Amino acid sequence: MSNPLADMDKPDVIFCIGTNMTECHPVAATRLKRALARGAKMIVADPRRIGLAEIADVHLPLRVGSDVSLLLAMAHVIAREGLMDQAFIDERTAHGEDFMQHVAQYTPEWAAEICECDPEDIEKAALLYGGADRGAIYYTVGVTEHICGVDNVQSLCNLALMTGNLGREGTGVNPMRGQNNIQGAGDAGALPNNYPGFQTVTDPAHQEKFHKAYGRKVDLETGMTKVTALDLCGDGIHAMIIDGENTLVTDPDRHHCEHALKSLDCLVVIDIFMTDTAKVADVVFPATAWAETDGVCTNTERRVQRLRAAVPPPGEAKPDWWILSQLAQRMGWQGFDFGSSKEVFNELCALSPLYNGLDWDRIDRGEYQWPVPTRDHPGTPRLHEKRFENGRGIFKMLEYRDPEETISDEYPMWLTTGRRLPQYHTRTQTGRSDGIDYLLSEETLEVHPEDIVRLGLEDGGWAEMSNPRGCLHVKVRATTKSPKGTVFASFAFEDVPVNVLTGGGYDPVTQTAALKACPVALKPVGPPPVLGQVGAGSPLGAPVL
Amino acid sequence: MKQNGSPSKNGTALTLTLDGEKVTFSRGETLYEVAERHGREIPTLCYDPRLEPFGGCRLCVVELEGARNPVASCTMEAQPGMRVRTRTAALEVQRRILMEMVASENRDTDVDPMHGYASQEMADLLDRYDARTGRFAGATSGTSRPDDDNPFIKRDYENCISCYRCVRVCAEQEGDYAISVMNRGFHTQITTEFGGLLKDSACTFCGQCIQTCPTGALGDLKALANKDVPGETETTRTVCPYCGVGCSVDIMTRGEKIVGILPAMDGPANEGSLCVKGQFAFDFVGHPDRLCTPFLRDEASGELRPASWDEALDFAAGKLRKVVKDHGRRAVYGIASGRAPHEAAYMMQRFIRAGLGTNHIDNCSRA
């Protein structure tokens, strides 16, 4: 996030797009609700009538994957009405004039044809955000998990740049990160293009720095992403070490993933449970879990916080860092004899300019938000206050692109996927916690009541959902939370493995999978033979017909 | 959440007299906040610093010169020149009588601390004011809801003192408005829309009502199930394992067992809030499905079998070395976790970069 969580109750206009925050980041959502209680206005762009939409002033139920068109039209209205922050544009941005000309063609009426929102609502949303003194944008993977994920984010940046909604209290462009240390995994350098601290690997100066630190030259070219690596399994990639990810269940196109991992000569999995991914490994190492591990994590607002062990691990489980450092030593490599989490973290701090001012002891109370470049630096709750890291904020001239796969007569419905409040990811943790199933014990496909009738389905009955990648059976629930033409299911339950269907392309820049827009066909089927036993023995959870 | 203002506009410090001592305050502060800041321990039952002041319990009354009766310090804004007394014999008598009356309303005055974060507040005040006299024959206000079969929130309203903290935390802190109040006086009943089960209301089971209840009328059923686990309860400050908000929690343990979770009221990201997952979804830690030893794929049977660390590490290193020998160092790929700490991700990239000299490393954020 560009701004701290504490800023979330300070905007006068909130724009949430592709974020089901009341279910996925519930505590952050409480701050937005407090802002609304104080009189802030809220725009929610989401295909579904999610919890935030229920309390929004404007809900824009855009068609999945059409974000760029909506955001271009909002920019059009802001430019047309002269609601820009011209001083900000002049002082801190580049190509502002070109951008205003670029968006002149993208009227709300044009966008409405694509995003299926009411042009008057688009107009209203643009006037609200454009007229705000403090306008703040919040988004999650509903924005990024598309073939145009980068374009979507840049469209949001364009809006913030043209209205000067950056670098001040209660403003910003704020991605909500979905896992407790997904920010930290990037910070720590687990990226193919960056060393720790987002230092690019293609810069010889960075290479030299790490050569010196690690005593070994590292390739000067960017590594491949996980997506490419999975594509190349058995053909260039022959071994994988996977830590704490149930790749088979969470990644798009399960059949492809399964084939990929089985083509490896060696798969090493580190996890706390025997997940589906661990089951196909050659070696599985037992890791210590949360509450058993001393360590550090960084949250969505870049706050660096301590994780502390409260109980001993079961059996012989060991911390992930220990497992990897031992494995490195067995490979015969020098320099991996670390004695504690503290030693490991302190080495990271020494090598990352974002963490140079930190160490294990200094983060004890969690008051620092990176960058913390020096020991006397107070941390950076708010980014971009005086300047942008790379000079000027550059407007991007974007165009709308269709998703890689679009609906057709054969596959006439959009499937979009996500999480539900009580369950997390593939239920490896919440599914093993007493009581959670009381709130949600099975997956259902959310379908608009008119679609139920049109497709011959039945509320509470079963549907077969398919596309060329796969097929599954799922119980149907009639709800106006889904718009007509779009259905929703979470990926939490193994007997509704929606990721056998997803996989319609990737963003060309980040290779983020397009998990949010997937054409499918639906038809009624009978209930499974024994309720609750659907395909229990099959590796795919449900029968593939 | 309340916010305090700044000193007076012209920059001179605002002052008032507190128990004869001249003290400074900021504009917008209440008398209660000023007194707390200056080390006075004013008793309260309806007060939660995260919520708007309510003035319901009247325990925080102080004497204000010029006012006819004692005033509730939690709702009275501090003004320059006020002369305030927080501990006089008359106030202490009044507080004691109030506590005796409060106690007379409840079936139990002493509840297990596993009920929740604030559950001992009433019992502590009864001790402080020596108010367990039973002088008043009260009647319980509120009817318990044993019919609510939810596994998280005990609804034992026979121990309710109508402080409305649960109602207010649900509305003000959570924005959920799932709980409300029905009737008045001895008939007061904390309830939900249409008086049904929490499951059928707007309740998200975040547990905030449990944690703010000062009497144990609401209780954490998961923690209470562990109330007989032997040992002293210890707490460990850490961060919730789920989403990226990074809420601080205190894990309660007895011996080697996690017995419950408390929200950290001073957690920088959450300021005491949690959701249903952070509050209740912790049993995976000690679950019997946990992996307790390494496993390796037996070459004869093709099945995974338990192995010692030595054997498994050598086996893995041997396989990786063979891949490097057959296909080169660029044939090995590392995927770090967004759920494990920095040290795990850092070591994974160190393994790939310092060990193999490649950049074939990623994390799970692209899925």
What are chain B's domains? 14-87 (3.10.20.740), 105-225 (3.30.70.20), 230-288 (2.20.25.90), 295-366 (no CATH)
CB-based contact, A234 to chain B, within 8 Å: no
**How distant is the Cα of A106 from the closest Cα of chain B, in angstroms?**
30
Q: Is the pLDDT of residue A543 over 50?
A: no
Per-residue pLDDT tens over the stretch A267-299 = 999 999 999 999 999 999 999 999 999 999 999
Q: What is the DSSP letter of A530?
A: S
Whether residue B301 lies within 8 A of chain A, CB to CB, comes out as: no
Give the pLDDT confidence score for residue B141 in this predicted structure. Answer: 82
pLDDT at residue A545 is higher than 50: no
Q: How many residue pairs from chains A and B have C-beta atoms closer than 8 A? A: 496
> Does the pLDDT of residue A234 top 70, yes or no?
yes
Does residue B197 belong to the interface with chain A, where contact is any CB pair within 8 Å? Answer: no
* Range of lowest pLDDT (A43-47, A424-428, A482-486): A424-428
Does the structure show a pLDDT above 90 at A537?
Answer: no
Instruction: Please give the pLDDT value at position B8.
Output: 53
B362 touches chain A (CB under 8 A): yes
pLDDT given at position A390: 81
Q: What is the pLDDT of residue A541?
A: 36
Give the pLDDT of residue A114.
Answer: 98
Q: What is the pLDDT along chain B (367 residues), one digit of tens a residue?
A: 444 445 555 567 899 999 999 999 999 999 999 999 999 999 999 999 999 999 999 999 999 999 999 999 999 999 999 999 999 999 999 999 999 999 998 989 999 999 999 999 999 999 999 999 999 987 888 899 999 999 999 999 999 999 999 999 999 999 999 999 999 888 899 999 889 999 999 999 999 999 999 999 999 999 999 999 999 999 999 999 999 999 999 999 999 999 999 999 999 999 999 999 999 999 999 999 999 999 999 999 999 999 999 999 999 999 999 999 999 999 999 999 999 999 999 999 999 999 999 999 999 887 6
Residues 318-357 of A with CB under 8 A from B: 318-321, 324-328, 330-331, 333, 335-336, 338, 341, 344-345, 347-348
Q: Choose among A125, A115, A58: nearest CA to A486.
A: A115
SS3 annotation, chain B: CCCCCCCCCCCCCEEEEECCEEEEECCCCEHHHHHHHCCCCCCCCCCCCCCCCCCCCCCCEEEECCCCCCEECCCCECCCCCEEECCCHHHHHHHHHHHHHHHHCCCCCCCCHHHCCCCCHHHHHHHHCCCCCCCCCCCCCCCCCCCCCCCCEEECHHHCCCCCHHHHHHHHHCCCCCEEEECCHHHCEEEEHHHCCHHHCCCCCCCHHHHHCCCCCEEEHHHHCCCCCCCCCEEEEEECCCCCCCCEEEEEEECCEEEEEEECCCCCCCCCCCCHHHHHCCCCCCCCCCCCCCEEECCCCCCEEECCHHHHHHHHHHHHHHHHHHHCHHHEEEEECCCCCHHHHHHHHHHHHHHHCCCCEEEHHHC
Of B151, B245, B346, the CB nearest to A435: B151
In this prediction, residue A532 carries a pLDDT of 46
Contact A222 B175 (CB under 8 A): no
List all residues of chain A from 354 to 413 with a beta carbon under 8 Å from chain B.
Answer: 366-367
Q: Which domains does chain A have, with CATH numbers?
A: 5-176 (3.40.228.10), 182-351 (3.40.50.740), 413-525 (2.40.40.20)
Smallest CA–CA separation between A62 and chain B, in Å? 23
Average model confidence (pLDDT) for chain A?
A: 94
B273 touches chain A (CB under 8 A): yes
Q: Could you report the per-residue pLDDT of A339-379, keeping only the tens digit for each?
A: 999 999 999 999 999 999 999 999 999 999 999 999 999 99
pLDDT at B182: 92
User: How far is it, in rounded angstroms, from Cα A501 to Cα A495?
Assistant: 13
Q: Are A197 and A351 in contact, with CB atoms under 8 Å apart?
A: yes
Which pLDDT score, from 0 to 100, does residue B367 have?
Answer: 62
Query: Cβ distance A199 to A356 under 8 Å?
Result: no
Instruction: Name chain B contacts of A218, Cβ cutoff 8 Å.
Output: 353-354, 357-359
Mutation for A interface: B149, B343, B352, most A CBs within 10 A: B343
Model pTM score: 0.94
Token duo for residue B66: 């010029």
